[in-house]
Structure formats: structure tokens, C-alpha cells
Amino acid sequence: MDFQGILDRLTAIRAPGLVGSDEPRKADPKDKKDKGRAGDPFAIVDAQLLSEFVRACRDDDRLHFEQLVDLTATDPSKDAAELWINVQLLSLKFRHRLAIKALLPKAAASLPSLVPVYRASQWHERECAEMFGIRFVGHPDPRNILLPDDWVGSPLRKDYEFPKEYHGISCE
């Protein structure tokens, strides 16, 4: 199915947490400031209901998203108040993908874990947690995965300050 078909199906099954969608568009000739948006369409979902949303995506017969391909986060800019959670789902049976975005306030970055739905998200969530400081509630093993266990800070946030030294080794 194409994106519109997936979106219609999601609305039809009343997938929990579906807030809206965003699709690429050309620049608006009337508005000089609007450059348009390139790339992929994605669905916008409420972060707290993300886990149930992907469960609905996985369990529905017409959507049949067997695999979670990617779960990551983005910090759009230093001034932005919200982080994005980006999820990519894949259906092998129907050969379609779905990109999902959930907005998470930086001040209260926590949401239920997707591990009960897809085991694949276990390691992705660990990476997100250490890189962005997001807390995944209910994650079975919330340790750092790529960074050392005693690392301070969330490196991929835009306001991250590099440490001056680590265990006596200078980082200049």
C-alpha cells in the first residue's frame, strides 16, 4: 500500500495515538519563506501511546508490519522544545514501510518501551536512552550500550557539552 492507503487503514482501525501526518510538499509560490519539504511522508503519533500504536500496526492483517527496522531519536535544534522519536516499520508480506514520528518534550523525555511489541527495539532503545537522555519505561535492561557505563551527558543532544577529561585522560 502507499502512504495514503496505510494512513486510511490506520484511521479505520482507530490505531491508538495517531495524531496526524506530514507529507512532502513543493514550495508554496505565494509564500517566499516556505521552501516546501522534501523526502518521505510520516505519521505523527502521541509518544505515550507509541507502544500501543506499533502493536496495532503489527497485529493488523492489512498492515502486517512484522519488523521494526529502526528506532531512533532526533534533536531538531538547540531551541526546539521537543525531541523526535523516529520509528521505521517494515512489512515483508505487503512490501511497504511506515515512518512514524512522535514528539517528546525535552524536559520530560520518557515514554513506555516498545520491547513488549518488538524485541528489535531492545538495543535501539538503549542507544536512544544513552544518546538523548530518554527514559523508556519498562525496558528490561536499561544499561548503556555504546558508551561507557559512567558517561555523563547525552551526546546527541544539540546542547551537549563535550567533557574536558575522562578518567584523567584529557579530551581537548
When binding is defined by CB under 8 A, the residue of 122, 125, 129, 136 that contacts another protein is 122
**How far, in Å, are 53, 83, 91, 150 from residue 113 at the CA level?**
12, 16, 21, 23
Residue 106 interacting with another protein (CB under 8 A): no
- By the rule CB under 8 A, 142 interacts with another protein: no
H or E segment to which residue 5 belongs: helix 3-12
Bridging pattern class, strands 110-112 and 18-22: unpaired
**Could you tell me whether strands 42-46 and 67-74 are parallel, antiparallel, or unpaired per DSSP bridges?**
unpaired
Among 28, 59, 66, 159, binds another protein (CB under 8 A): 66
CA 95 to chain centre: 21
H helix or E strand, kind and range, residue 85: strand 82-91
138 touching another protein, by CB under 8 A: no
Residue of the chain from 32, 38, 165, 170 that contacts another protein (CB under 8 A):
38
- 163: contact with another protein by CB under 8 A: no
Under the binding rule (CB under 8 A), the answer on residue 116 touching another protein is no
- Between the alpha carbon of residue 149 and those of residues 126, 138, 143, the distances in Å are 12, 19, 7
| 36 interacts with another protein by CB under 8 A | yes
The closest alpha carbon to 146, from 128, 162, 158, belongs to: 128
The minimum distance between CB 77 and another protein, in angstroms, equals 7
Q: What is the C-alpha separation between 168 and 171, in angstroms, rounded? A: 9
Site for another protein contains 147 (CB under 8 A): yes
The footprint of another protein on residues 81-100 (CB under 8 A) is: 86, 88, 90, 92, 95, 97, 99
Tell me the number of residues near another protein by CB under 8 A. Answer: 41
Residues found near another protein in the complex (CB under 8 A): 24, 35-40, 42, 66-70, 72, 74-77, 86, 88, 90, 92, 95, 97, 99, 118-124, 131, 144-148, 155-156, 158
